[in-house]
A = this chain, B = another copy of it.
C-alpha cells in the first residue's frame, strides 16, 4: 500500500471503540425503576432478576452464549468481567466473538468507530473491513489469522475440540498478550471452558486452513462432535444450568441441545432451569435466533419457569443488566465451577 492510501487508512481508523466498564457506574436505580415499567424496559429488569436467580442458586452452572458482534461494538469488557467475576461458568460463542474480536484485541489491535454510510469499495481498496458502523484493519486481522496458524503448528497433530484449542490460545496469551484482560486469557486462567461450535467460521478458520494446507497429511483438526460431547458432559455433571444468551444463532441452539443429547446417551437431565435471551430477531420466520424460550420448552430444552426474552439490540441493555448484577455483588461468594478441570 502506498503512502497516500496509508494516510487515508489512518483517517478511517482513528477513533477506537472503547469498551464499556460496568464497574464504573451503578445501574441499580435504573433497573429497579424499569422493574415497574412495561414493554422492553420491564424485560431488562426481568433479565437481571433471572441472572441473579442463577447466581444465587448454589447448584447452578451459568452458560454464557454470545452470537453477533457486540464484542466489537463495545461489550467485550462486559463478557470478560462476567468471566472474571464468576458470573459465567461456561462460554459458548461464535468464532468471530472469540477470535476475531477478543483474541484480536488481546494481540494489541483495536476496533474503530465508523459509519454505515460509506463507500464500501473505498474501504475494500484500503483493506478496511466493516461491521455495520465499526471498522477493522484487515491487515491486522491477517496477523491474527497467522497467530492462530502458529499456535496450531506448535500442537501435536490430532483432533481437538474448539474448547481445547481455545485453551491453547489462552495459554499463549499468558505470555504474549498485549492487552491483559481478554476473555480468552481470563477463561484459561479460571478454568472456564469456551466453545465455538462453528469455530472455522472465523479468523481461526483462516489460520487453521493455512495450517492444514501446508500439512495435508498430519495436522490439527477441530472436531465439532467433540465440542458437543464435551458440553453435554458438563451438562450431565452440572445438572442445574442457566443460559444467559446474547443473540441467537448456533451458540443458542448448541447450548440448548445438550439436554436432548444427554437423554439420547441414556443419561436424562433436567432442562435448563433458567434462560435469558437478548435479541432483535423476529419470531415469525421460524429460525432459532428469534424463537421464543417458550418454544424451547416444547423441545424439552428450557424450563418454562424462569425465562426472560429481552427485545433489544444488546449494546443498549446488556451494560445495564451486567452493572446491576455486578453491584448487587451476589457473585462475590460464589465458588468457581472450573469445568475445564474435568477434561484434564
Chain A interface residues toward B at CB < 8 A? 15-21, 24-25, 27, 29-30, 33-34, 36-42, 44, 67-70, 72-75, 96, 111, 113, 116-118, 120-121, 123-124, 128-134, 138, 142, 145, 159, 197-201, 205-206, 208-213, 220-229, 232, 247, 249-250, 253-254, 257, 260-261, 264-265, 280-289, 291, 294-295, 297-300, 304, 311-317, 319-320
Partner of A123, one of B15, B67, B298: B298
Partner of A249, one of B249, B261, B299: B249
| Structural contact, B132 and A295, CB atoms closer than 8 A | yes
Partner of A316, one of B41, B69, B264: B41
Question: Which chain B residue lies CB-closest to A19?
Answer: B37
| Structural contact, A72 and B286, CB atoms closer than 8 A | yes
Question: Which chain B residue lies CB-closest to A133?
Answer: B38
A312–B282 CA distance with the chains assembled, in angstroms: 12
| Structural contact, A37 and B17, CB atoms closer than 8 A | yes
| Structural contact, B226 and A212, CB atoms closer than 8 A | yes
Taken together, the copies of this chain in the complex come to 4
| Structural contact, A200 and B225, CB atoms closer than 8 A | yes
14 contacts between A and B (CB under 8 A): A20-B30, A34-B74, A39-B132, A69-B286, A96-B288, A120-B298, A124-B298, A131-B295, A197-B198, A198-B250, A200-B227, A213-B229, A250-B250, A280-B285
| Structural contact, B264 and A297, CB atoms closer than 8 A | no
Having A67-B287, A200-B254, one finds 18 other A-B pairs with CB under 8 Å, namely A27-B30, A34-B74, A38-B131, A38-B286, A38-B315, A39-B74, A39-B285, A42-B74, A42-B315, A69-B286, A96-B253, A120-B295, A209-B225, A209-B264, A211-B225, A222-B225, A280-B280, A280-B285
